[in-house]
Structure 1
């Protein structure tokens, strides 16, 4: 029978990102994105209009233009064309980073529409600049390893939580009332409702938990007289934004430079959001992806300047929503874009959405922003924290970001040109992470982290790379019961870029060994609970392994039961029961899994034993590192060789 043609191979199956859902689901999921995004979308024109002295009528036009252009920008980013658009479920909105510079530009130009046209001139040029530099900026992707992207994503989530908290307390400004019991009830009630829906329901209902929370919370507030829709009656049915509605743009060199700086900073935030979304949808992000995302930012910003809107970037609120709902299709965001275009053309529809009470929106935002932080933490789990440099990078960037977030008036202590950086915890934290990563990992020569030895005789990464074969085997031989073939094979992979690279070399060598070598290794492990292990010195590697769960001090009953299991196991498979004790929670779990493994086939059990040997070696490697790094030694819950790479 001939093989199936290549075109019918499973490789042609669509990635969930490219799945086109039925229209009703697209509409519902898209509307959920719009509700989650709406308050953040309109806040920038509201702040700007109030600061530079625009009329209410002009503000309404700005909001309509903003929503209309947000829709276009989101479709460009999610659907894409040519080399524009990252083709991920990323919704676009006006960047908060631009608020202060735009206000300064507008006031310097005299305020009102005179200031507005100067702002638009700078926005248009900065958008074109971003579009043109996108492929060059994307080449910097090597400066965005997990230690940077994880830090940036975590910072984005945590730094946005105060915004959600302000909404939950009634909204920033005169309506803010943290002591209001009603505000607390609406916010916590909405959050609790979202949690309950996700816990009780499965499938479609769970994916629209945020939407249901917002709708039900708003209905309850309306019944109690705390949600108002008076603006619906006074709003127009149709409102179309036209190019250069406020006049032809004017170009100021100082304003353009200021806005270009904003877009460079925004490019960093966009990069973080793209990596975050890639993590969520399980799609690898490449240099080309970053380039396409930044081109979309630049094009959308240019269109924004023409259609009376502002600079655009990916919205972290909706990154969190993708993670909460687990709906990965980019066409959902495109549907949200269509809905925003409609809202931008129908002010009455926008007025209905604007009637959602701040505390209800804040309760939902708490869940979404915290979810973004969790994605960052997940990314950081891939970071080699045995390397103290990475600890410094994450701690410093996170600390400075929270400093500025908790004390925003700090920006007033620096010159005006630096306020754009110190005015945002996300900006300061992101730049700090990038700069420190470059300083520690890319600038100049370094000795590298300590990876073995004792505090008095540390062995560092550059020394490992310079070791003779004999010293390398002597240093790391204990990872595999003193047998040398695994360590000798790993030695051939020098030089090692970091401790993660060193760990992978041991893994590759273990699983690439011959059947005879692997059999010898499996046979070299002592039995679980063996008397020879229990009476060994505390620094013996097997004693360390088994004492973690008390197997070196079992009572007679437990010892006999374990001995019965291990004897039967060795009789069946020809080698001792190998099990990473430090991965188990109790002695009962060790027994339960051991008896279950007796039912495996010899081939399956041999593979399982090798995996367990790799995990044991991982913990032994952690023990070596802990002896050299006081920060690492103070931490608990060390990972395995497999989980840390």
Structure 2
């Protein structure tokens, strides 16, 4: 549970900057690893299979991904110079880049030849993101709560089906009679119910470990019943190191670079929403400088990803949901998780142990975490006056657009490959819709609307459970904000 520590003569340390004792750092950090692992390795698995890589090459991609994830997470949470938000944000490979990378790799001939073109585009897009971060950070005023809240709600709603697919046995079982079986449902529901019981009945420190407890107990039960297997742990190597440019020097081609830069523009919007979400959870002020530092970390991490045989990076929404559930907001917990990721990247045997968690068990935990991401978005939307027609239409149309790629696939199958690679994502399409509609309704008109000025907020410690929010409530219709209030009329 988040606490306030005091140092020296009565000064306060915000819970985000509190260094917890080593045992707590270890437990909470490992919990982040379990929440993060499946989503972290799925991107290299999807890309490697699509490009026809061998099993050995696929294992190397996974190890490289975990190693770079750890480095990226430490950069984001700990901060280096003017790089990193210094917030409890876990970095992982963005799902938005999967379709474009598959298209780029296949277009370049597949195999390692396709990977080299992908890495050239990834490195260039990372550099572009790093350089554009200050400019993008100054655009924060165009991301009012109605946009940020809508994007976060979309992220949560879009990811919940991923958790449900895992609960049914994993997307790899679709079409198999085992997919959606009662046994899988029992594991998922059992894990979810255990998490809920621990949160409801456990003491604060136990409640903060609810997801970890659910995953461990769920896996143990599955193992005792013969449904969790650890054979791959014995076969995995003890030590493995990824070297820069393992598959050869990257190839830089114009169209793949353009496609990947567009992808990174979308992830910059997603990162902006994630930064505000974690600021809302931790009661930590977020301003344009915070966003700029977070985006620089994305750019540097993505560039390192291309060098160390990995991919573009973004803050992981499921771990934001975990922070919301556990109420442990110390960024040093995430730094500890980053250290664990590096170890997993260097120790394939340890990584295979975490990978042995059954999909239904993981799905049961993921449902609650992804739902928490949507809940944070709704929490931000609660500060928006949805009686104002323009705000309501931004939310309504954006939610509809986000559902389009998953419900009507033929729309996108008929599009050119480059267009489909960018738009065939609910998060991307819904987020772009929210941004464009906000510009159309609010930024390019003279009509005044009340927006929360994020930069007016002071750092505040998280209130006790049940305490009133530190953020200002919406004024009554016709009311004017008091002098110095954290809201402006435009």
**TM-score of the aligned structures, taking structure 1 as reference length:** 0.68
In the TM superposition, what is the alpha-carbon distance from 1:145 to its structure 2 partner?
0.4
Distance, in Å, in 2 between the alignment partners of 1:253 and 1:618 is 51
Secondary structure class of the residue paired with 2:156: helix
Distance, in Å, in 1 between the alignment partners of 2:109 and 2:407 is 32
Residue in 2 aligned with 1:21? 20
Is 2:442–2:449's contact at 8 Å kept on the other side of the alignment? no
In the TM superposition, what is the alpha-carbon distance from 1:310 to its structure 2 partner?
0.5
Residue in 2 aligned with 1:385? 386
Distance, in Å, in 1 between the alignment partners of 2:450 and 2:94 is 38
Distance, in Å, in 2 between the alignment partners of 1:132 and 1:621 is 43
Residue in 2 aligned with 1:115? 114
Residue in 1 aligned with 2:71? 72
In the TM superposition, what is the alpha-carbon distance from 1:98 to its structure 2 partner?
0.7
In the TM superposition, what is the alpha-carbon distance from 1:385 to its structure 2 partner?
1.8
Is 1:198–1:206's contact at 8 Å kept on the other side of the alignment? yes
Does structure 1 residue 182 correspond to structure 2 residue 133? no
Distance, in Å, in 2 between the alignment partners of 1:165 and 1:444 is 42
Is 2:93–2:312's contact at 8 Å kept on the other side of the alignment? yes
Gap runs ≥5 in structure 1: 1-6, 449-496, 502-614, 623-641
Residue in 2 aligned with 1:199? 200
Residue in 2 aligned with 1:282? 283
Mapping 1:75-154, distance limit 5 Å: 75-154=74-153
Does structure 1 residue 412 correspond to structure 2 residue 399? no
Distance, in Å, in 1 between the alignment partners of 2:385 and 2:220 is 48
**TM-score of the aligned structures, taking structure 2 as reference length:** 0.90
In the TM superposition, what is the alpha-carbon distance from 1:131 to its structure 2 partner?
0.4
In the TM superposition, what is the alpha-carbon distance from 1:9 to its structure 2 partner?
5.9
Does structure 1 residue 243 correspond to structure 2 residue 244? yes
Largest Rg, 1 or 2: 1
Q: Deviations over 1:255-300 (max 9, x none)?
A: 1111111111110111111111111001121000110000000000
Does structure 1 residue 37 correspond to structure 2 residue 36? yes
Equivalenced residue count is 456
Is 1:122–1:255's contact at 8 Å kept on the other side of the alignment? yes
Structure with higher RCO (Cα < 8 A, 6+ apart): 2
Is 1:382–1:644's contact at 8 Å kept on the other side of the alignment? no
Is 2:100–2:422's contact at 8 Å kept on the other side of the alignment? no
Q: Deviations over 1:509-561 (max 9, x none)?
A: xxxxxxxxxxxxxxxxxxxxxxxxxxxxxxxxxxxxxxxxxxxxxxxxxxxxx
Q: Deviations over 1:201-225 (max 9, x none)?
A: 1121111000000000000000111
Residue in 2 aligned with 1:427? 428
In the TM superposition, what is the alpha-carbon distance from 1:173 to its structure 2 partner?
1.9
Is 2:450–2:487's contact at 8 Å kept on the other side of the alignment? no
Distance, in Å, in 1 between the alignment partners of 2:410 and 2:75 is 36
Residue in 1 aligned with 2:167? 168
Does structure 1 residue 498 correspond to structure 2 residue 449? yes
CA change 1:58–1:441 in 2 (3 A) is same
Structure 1 segments, 4+ long, off by >4 Å, are 7-10, 175-178, 617-622, 642-645
Q: Deviations over 1:410-462 (max 9, x none)?
A: 321323222133311011110100000000001144xx4xxxxxxxxxxxxxx
CA change 1:498–1:619 in 2 (3 A) is closer
